[in-house]
Amino acid sequence: MFELSKALQARVRASTSALLAALVEFKNVCYANSLGPESMVLTDLIWGAEQGSEAAALPKIEIFSIDTGRLYPETYDLIERVQRRYGRALRIYYPQAAAVEGWVDANGINGFRDGVEQRRGCCAIRKVEPFRRAVAGRDAWVTGIRRSQSAGRATAAPVAWDGEYGLHKISPLLDWTDKEVWEYIRRKQLPYNPLHDKGFPSIGCAPCTRAVQPGDDQRSGRWWWERDESRECGLHPRTQVGFSK
Ligand code: SF4
């Protein structure tokens, strides 16, 4: 049962080692769970770590998610299924109500479609500010980004100084392929968002995410009305500053 290919076992070992090394080096480490397929893998590596195994320390990494208030119903169901599977609670951070009310008053309920600045303003309130609170006082945060997801992520470093938020950023899945992520999910029968079976490679807020055509850039279904270079969420700036190890 749950037999993984040799190549995938090697990926798991490398990612587990990267997480353990981050815990040793940075101590106070958290994982920003975006609830995508990579998140299902990382959640399993962290919460699924067996007691008595080399990876037993990994559940010390606190896992959190951000509820922007505009997620798909399927995403909320997924949170519940993940929590049930592991018997643990995801820490959920929410935007500040007054900030959301002020932004909607000024821009309209879907005003993020009126321009890049409006969209960034909405992301700043609904995602970036809660994220900033979630990582405050931490030494490092873990992300599930992979090189093949976009041109902007292709050159990301496994460990980098995140100058925007003032802590280190750990990317243990950088070299995993999309196929490997899904092989891991299927072999281990992990929960995942059913929208992935309907052409959504990347799922964020409902009004800002749509299905893509086979072969399209994985991020092309996000903020599709904007030019390519503006389409990041603010949590992963395009210019990486830092070091790798
Ligand atoms: S993805 Fe869309 S709805 Fe979500 S925070 Fe950004 S602009 Fe707002």
Does residue 169 line the site of ligand 1, with CB under 6 A?
no
Does residue 127 line the site of ligand 1, with CB under 6 A?
yes
Does residue 146 line the site of ligand 1, with CB under 6 A?
no
Domain 6-230: assigned CATH number: 3.40.50.620
Confidence (pLDDT) at 228: 63
C-alpha 69 – ligand 1 centre gap (Å): 9
CA-nearest residue for atom 5, ligand 1, is: 123
Specify the ligand 1 atom closest to the Cα of 126.
Answer: 5
Identify the CA nearest to 40 among candidates 87, 82, 91. Answer: 82
CB burial of residue 133 (10 Å; 0-12, 13-18, 19+) = middle
Confidence (pLDDT) at 230: 60
Confidence (pLDDT) at 58: 97
Specify the ligand 1 atom closest to the Cα of 208.
Answer: 2
Confidence (pLDDT) at 241: 26
Question: Is 129 in a helix, a strand, or coil?
Answer: helix
Identify the CA nearest to 178 among candidates 209, 152, 216. Answer: 216
Convert 18-47 to b/e letters by CB count within 10 Å (16 or more is b).
bbbebbeebeebbbbbbbbbbbbbbbbbbb
Specify the ligand 1 atom closest to the Cα of 127.
Answer: 5
Domain ranges of the chain: 6-230
C-alpha 124 – ligand 1 centre gap (Å): 9
Question: What does the pLDDT profile of the chain (245 residues) look like in tens digits?
Answer: 568 999 999 999 999 999 999 999 998 999 999 999 999 999 999 999 998 999 999 999 999 999 999 999 999 999 999 999 999 999 999 999 999 999 999 999 999 999 999 999 999 999 999 999 999 999 999 999 999 877 888 889 999 999 999 999 999 999 999 999 999 999 999 999 999 999 998 899 999 999 988 877 766 788 788 866 566 655 665 433 222 22
Contact of 202 with 188, CB cutoff 8 Å: no
Respond yes or no: is residue 208 known to be catalytic. Answer: no
Contact of 38 with 144, CB cutoff 8 Å: yes
Confidence (pLDDT) at 15: 98
Provide the whole-model pTM: 0.89
Q: Which residues pair with 29 in a beta bridge?
A: 140
